Structure 1
Amino acid sequence: MITGSIVALVTPMHADGQVDWDGLDRLVEFHIKQGTDSIVAVGTTGESATLSTEEHCDVIGRVVKVAAGRRPIIAGTGANSTSEAIELTQEAKKLGADACLLVTPYYNKPPQRGLIKHHEAIAASVDIPQILYNVPGRTACDMLPETVAALADIEQIVGIKEATGDMDRARQLIDLVGDRMAVYSGDDETAYQLMLMGGKGNISVTANVAPALMHQLCMLALDGQADEAKALNERLMQLHKSMFCEANPIPVKWALKRMGLMDRGIRLPLVELDERFYPKVELALANLELI
């Protein structure tokens, strides 16, 4: 089982929007050295929505190659088309990914029975560990706990990233499926609470810029050290919030550029961080001595 601090890795780009492959290599090495427990390649934060299929697969392959077995690699392979999700998941397996993260189909708003059939089809087509990903604020589709429970006995489905930030939902999920699959947080501000309830880790945006601190936070929460985890999370709260002052990954990519870790590129229709947010992000980084 993959546990701990799991970074939702950005895809570094040059100013012209082309993927910065050397920058990607450096980021993977940075995370390994800083203690990140696992890496998600080409999730939401990795701009999966604007990479071509070829680029998407190339980024997965590159991250797997550079990590070279030193960390588990989770490939983002979700799509709003079941056939496309199957193809991406098959390719991720060929490229050597350890697991796949499958976002709930977006835009077309399938009913719950459609979600069940969607994930059943992917699991039947590809024998690789699969993590469900529920983020209704982006997808306009909420995978209900009862639906997760209906999928929990499928061998290939090993976890869910629950990104609502709703602790009542988290508790319900852990009670329903926690003995059959891993429940991961997808909300940095509340992640430690979910782990204290029995969750297994945090798939994190904040970990892009503060990997060592996020690893420490996860270890405290997983060890049940509630007071210490809460105190560290309070230190990190300003950074958590600043990473969403505009749509993710706009702030986190600007922060990484400000830290000197990559170039400034981002792909349309996303644009670089609005100048009025520079002080907010800089202050959050400075207060944690990240710049």
Structure 2
Amino acid sequence: MLIDLNTGADVNRAIHDKISDGELPIFTGIYAATLTPMHEDFSCNEEELARHCKDLIHRGCKGVILFGTTGEGPSFSVGERKKAIQNLIKIGIDPQKVIIAVSCCAIEDVINLTSVALDQDCAAVLIAPPFFYKKVDEAGVIGFYRRIIQEMNHPKLKI
């Protein structure tokens, strides 16, 4: 059971109720963690990424996950990821079939990329816990997510 550290409430019950009420989506099916094609200079090859995503969805994936560890997300700048996300949606990839991994070392970058994903109407974001420093304790991990949630000022944010 998950307990809200602020209120002591049963988080599992709250999540179940939000799913039942249609407030939170249920992700079913396969969401492929995509590779990120690159040019020789290691910049994102957006045309090939779009083709790859369309092909995965055409072959039966419910959606795609972009810029996670499989897609070498941390190797790309926030600007590169932002541009690629916007271009994918612009060329016709259904944003509700796209989940964006927004993990970064800087919390401001996580917030920036999350805002981009929400602005583009993407299905969800994935935020890895702090990964740069070793042995971050539970309070540090909770503080990391708490700060992101508190600083996110976006009407589409659902947790």
TM-score for the superposition, normalised by structure 1: 0.41
How far apart are the structure 1 equivalents of 2:155 and 2:117? 11
**Alpha carbons of 1:76 and 1:21: their partners in 2 closer, same or farther (altered >3 Å)?**
same
How far apart are the structure 2 equivalents of 1:71 and 1:36? 13
Deviation at 1:72, TM superposition (A): 1.9
Deviation at 1:108, TM superposition (A): 1.8
How far apart are the structure 1 equivalents of 2:93 and 2:147? 30
- What is the DSSP-based 3-state SS (H/G/I as helix, E as strand, rest coil) of the residue aligned with 2:75? coil
What does residue 41 of structure 2 align with? Answer: 16
- Within 5 Å, give how 1:135-154 maps onto structure 2: none
What does residue 111 of structure 1 align with? Answer: 137
Q: Does 1:97 align with 2:97?
A: no
Deviation at 1:74, TM superposition (A): 0.7
Residue 56 of structure 1 aligns with an amino acid whose one-letter code is R
What does residue 54 of structure 1 align with? Answer: 79
What does residue 65 of structure 1 align with? Answer: 90
**Alpha carbons of 1:79 and 1:67: their partners in 2 closer, same or farther (altered >3 Å)?**
same
Between the aligned residues of both structures, percent identity stands at: 25
What does residue 44 of structure 1 align with? Answer: 69
Deviation at 1:67, TM superposition (A): 4.8
Gaps of 5+ in 2: 1-25
How far apart are the structure 1 equivalents of 2:91 and 2:70? 19
**Alpha carbons of 1:65 and 1:9: their partners in 2 closer, same or farther (altered >3 Å)?**
farther
**Alpha carbons of 1:70 and 1:94: their partners in 2 closer, same or farther (altered >3 Å)?**
closer
Say if 1:63 and 1:73, in contact at 8 Å, map to a contact too.
no
Identify the match of residue 109 of structure 2 among 66, 70, 84. Answer: 84
**Alpha carbons of 1:78 and 1:68: their partners in 2 closer, same or farther (altered >3 Å)?**
same
Q: Does 1:31 align with 2:90?
A: no
**Alpha carbons of 1:66 and 1:106: their partners in 2 closer, same or farther (altered >3 Å)?**
same
Structure with the greater alpha carbon radius of gyration: 1
**Alpha carbons of 1:76 and 1:70: their partners in 2 closer, same or farther (altered >3 Å)?**
closer
How far apart are the structure 1 equivalents of 2:46 and 2:107? 29
Higher relative contact order (CA 8 A, sep 6+): 1
Deviation at 1:123, TM superposition (A): 2.5
Cα shift readout 1:139-160 (whole Å, capped 9, x = no counterpart): xxxxxxxxxxxxxxxx51xxxx
How far apart are the structure 2 equivalents of 1:41 and 1:54? 14
TM-score for the superposition, normalised by structure 2: 0.71
Gaps of 5+ in 1: 130-154, 157-291
**Alpha carbons of 1:70 and 1:18: their partners in 2 closer, same or farther (altered >3 Å)?**
closer
How far apart are the structure 2 equivalents of 1:16 and 1:84? 23
